[in-house]
Copies of this chain bind each other. A is one copy, B any other.
Amino acid sequence: MLTWRCRTTCGKARTGVLATAHGDVETPVFMPVGTAATVKGVMTGDLQEAGVSMLLGNTYHLMLRPGAGRIRDLGGLRQFMNWPGPVLTDSGGFQIFSLKGLSKVTEEGAVFRSHVDGSQHELTPERSVEIQDCLDSTVTMVLDECTEHPATRERALHSMERSMRWAERCRRAFRPREGYGLFGIVQGGVHDDLRLASARALQSIGFEGYAVGGLAVGEGQEEMFRVLDRVVDHLPADRPRYLMGVGRPDDIIGAVARGIDMFDCVLPSRSGRTGQAFLRHGTLNIRNARHRDDSQPLDPGCRCPACRDHSRAYLHHLFRCGEMLGPVLLSLHNLTYYQDFMADVRKAIEKGTLDRLAWPEQPADQ
């Protein structure tokens, strides 16, 4: 099983090391999303140079294309995509429950139609764990029912209770191996008592790590922080805590301050593809005409290839011409930014200065 060792704390925030079968990971960590076995447009060697230590893969996309059995036969997701470090895979549930009208959920699990070819598939807790085993995922996530937001208390209760029964089925289905782990997911919407009941239920089952799910779905940062304020204290101190699908740098600072260790989000790569760059003083849209003649780099202090080798004028030109290299370079910049930002977060915890770390919501070019 994988283990997490605390290094330092600063209030509720902590740094530590996640020791896995595929290498150690410094936490707090940000995992870029490699949906279909690729972080879009970026070679894995460039991800390593950006400082990425752990990736997230999407079970839903991978089970449909190229298929879980095929990835197993090709040596697992890491070998398939040539990623030497650990990978965490989601359960597939989030995408399936988003397939409005294409999925049907019962106590047994979900039946859904592929968005690719309309073929019918079944995803039960056992099948989700089995698929993630085919992928040879370092961290397997339990299948949970993603409660819609907003949900009535009754709806949130029933959904959370089903998720807890599924979590137990996942635990039984999971094949324990040295350096691998299964994470449970706290549900319960914005209802404190349900969240605490969920945290207790998961701990009585026992997991190598605990995720907080069902946030960042439209409830707002304030409400998200409020839930974390209540939930995190009820999770075991010696296990890693993962806030799924989050987020912006300011979300991350606030969640780290509340005791979260792991994050994933499509934001750096997706916004890079549309021309939005993350900088220490906010975001910037490189398509903006003001960058047309600017011979300065995106960020003179950044070590990424986009900043090291190119001007804002060149990046602007690439986006204006629809050139593929634009999204490639800006994704790489944003991924590098996020890794350097997480290193700053870890340093701030170690120095006890996390409360001074801030990230402006205001765009840098407006």
Q: A317: nearest residue on chain B (CB-CB)?
A: B66
Q: A81: nearest residue on chain B (CB-CB)?
A: B314
Q: In the complex, what's the smallest C-beta–C-beta distance from A123 to chain B, in angstroms?
A: 20
Q: How far is the CA of A323 from the CA of B318 in the complex (A)?
A: 19
**A318 and B38 contact, CB distance less than 8 A:** yes
Interface with B: A69-77, A133-141, A194-202, A259-267, which one? A69-77
Q: A323: nearest residue on chain B (CB-CB)?
A: B38
Question: Within 8 Å of chain B (Cβ to Cβ): is A147?
Answer: no
Q: In the complex, what's the smallest C-beta–C-beta distance from A135 to chain B, in angstroms?
A: 13
CB-CB under 8 A for A82 and B309, given A38-B318, A43-B325: yes
Question: Within 8 Å of chain B (Cβ to Cβ): is A311?
Answer: yes
Question: Within 8 Å of chain B (Cβ to Cβ): is A255?
Answer: no
Question: Within 8 Å of chain B (Cβ to Cβ): is A236?
Answer: no
With a CB–CB cut-off of 8 A, which chain B residues contact A313? 66, 70, 74, 80
**B45 and A309 contact, CB distance less than 8 A:** yes
Question: Within 8 Å of chain B (Cβ to Cβ): is A216?
Answer: no
Q: List 17 A-B contacts (CB under 8 A).
A: A36-B323, A38-B323, A40-B323, A41-B41, A43-B325, A45-B305, A65-B317, A66-B313, A66-B316, A70-B292, A70-B313, A74-B314, A75-B295, A80-B311, A80-B314, A81-B314, A324-B328
